Amino acid sequence: MFKKFLIVCLMVIVMFSIYKIHKIEVEEQKREEGKYYKINVLIPKTDNRKLNREIYNLVEANKAKVIDKAQSDKPKDKYELIINYTKTVYRDVLFVNINIYKFLGKNYEREDLSFYYLGEVKLDVSYFFQRDYLKELSSISKKYLQEKNLSEESINNLTLPNEKNFHNFYFNNFGLNIFFNTATTNELITIPYEEINHILKEKFQSITIHENTIPIIKNITDVSNYKDKKLIALTFDDGPSSNTIKLLDGLKKTNSKVTFFLLGTKVYQYRDVIKRMYSESHQLGNHTYHHLNLRYLSKEKALEEINYTNNAIYTVTGHFPTVFRPPYGIISDEVKKEISQKVILWNVDFRDWRYKSSKRVFNQIVKNAKDGNIIVLHDTYKTTVDGVLLAVDKLVKEGYRFVTIDELISIREIELENDKSIFVN
């Protein structure tokens, strides 16, 4: 009897371990800036130590290369390393796709690396596809790449039927998503299941599920009595993250509203959090798909970064974002004139990402508490969320109100022009 009980306990432990390995418990953002370089890294932290180590080694190797080259070349424009990720679980398999962007003086160079794990077991491509799949996958992919602005030669090279061209992918409800990249080209295509089921192993065959885009109903905040109040707009970049739910819970207690500038890579992963943001009357903004410096992108690529994120947010909420914040606050007049959103910057930035101190965040918000201020923050840091909630509680008691960008503009009757950026002083 005891032996049977022990076996059952062991089975439960094993099943729980496999489940936990699929969870992204937290994510880690690391920002670093030197005289000749800027580093911005956002990576997942899982319960799979082997995967964590692989990702850590990948990040450190790329950081070392960029920093060494920057210190050797001493460039006028700082070299950059930007790393972010997408993560999904499909049919018990954890997919983590790491996107690496390096600016070394000319254009961004991109590299994508995909990891697939079933529990502690690292998988290879043969786990997902039937034998002799490459020729058919090549033909299907070519059709989707022809919709992109690519030369026939580039398309032919990217879709040569070899495993190297098709090893960066993940599955989700929409189908098979494949990254194609070279030093000068990076493209993502999504192939519906109906077109690829015949080359997938039975476990991964499916039908395409389209996200429900019925617009989410927003609870309207009554701001009719705010005109005589001191107003502050807190804005959060680079999220959502594993800290955002705590932030939403805390803001709800004081009926405070903020604006979130979202990264497109995170929209699908945090879709339930984003739906909650919108339904609780927070404002959603666009912060590009990969957090690249738009200065180093062509107009077409910059607009692609923006439009991909607009569409992702619409797919989840049924609403397009009405405001846009470019990474690093940099955007050309040419791109500005092409987008429909108002460009929103800030007038208070105390670099919460550098110091990572909840006490400092609290003190700086209180110190900069002034009617009309727009403060830039990052909900990717627990220290920021903790400091913000303490400051909000204190300032609400002192008569301040925290509002979204749109609310601030409306209450203060600010006129915005399409091709202008806004700082509110």
Catalytically active residues, by annotation: 237, 378
Whether cis (ω within 30° of 0) applies to the bond prior to 215 is no
- Helix locations, 171-215, DSSP H: 193-196
- Sheet with strand 169-172: strands edge to edge: 169-172, 175-181, 186-191
Decide if 66 contacts 75 (C-beta within 8 A).
no
Decide if 104 contacts 77 (C-beta within 8 A).
no
CA distance 213 to 203: 28
CA distance 285 to 76: 32
Residue in the block written with tokens 């974002």:
321
CA distance 181 to 200: 23
CA distance 278 to 217: 8
Decide if 265 contacts 98 (C-beta within 8 A).
no
CA distance 338 to 294: 14
Looking from the CA of 197 toward its CB, the CA atoms found within 13 Å total: 9
Q: Which amino acid is at 182?
A: T
Q: How many CB atoms lie within 10 A of CB 325?
A: 26
CA distance 62 to 98: 12
Decide if 204 contacts 171 (C-beta within 8 A).
yes
Q: What is the largest CA-CA distance in the chain?
A: 77
Distances (CA, A) of 384 to 41, 256, 353, 387: 17, 16, 8, 5
Q: Which amino acid is at 393?
A: D
**For the residues of 27-94, what is the DSSP string, one character each?**
EEEEEEE-SSEEEEEEEEEES-HHHHHHHHHHHHHHHHHHHHHHHHH--SSPEEEEEEEEEEEETTEE
Cα angle 301, 302, 307 (rounded to 5 degrees) comes to 95
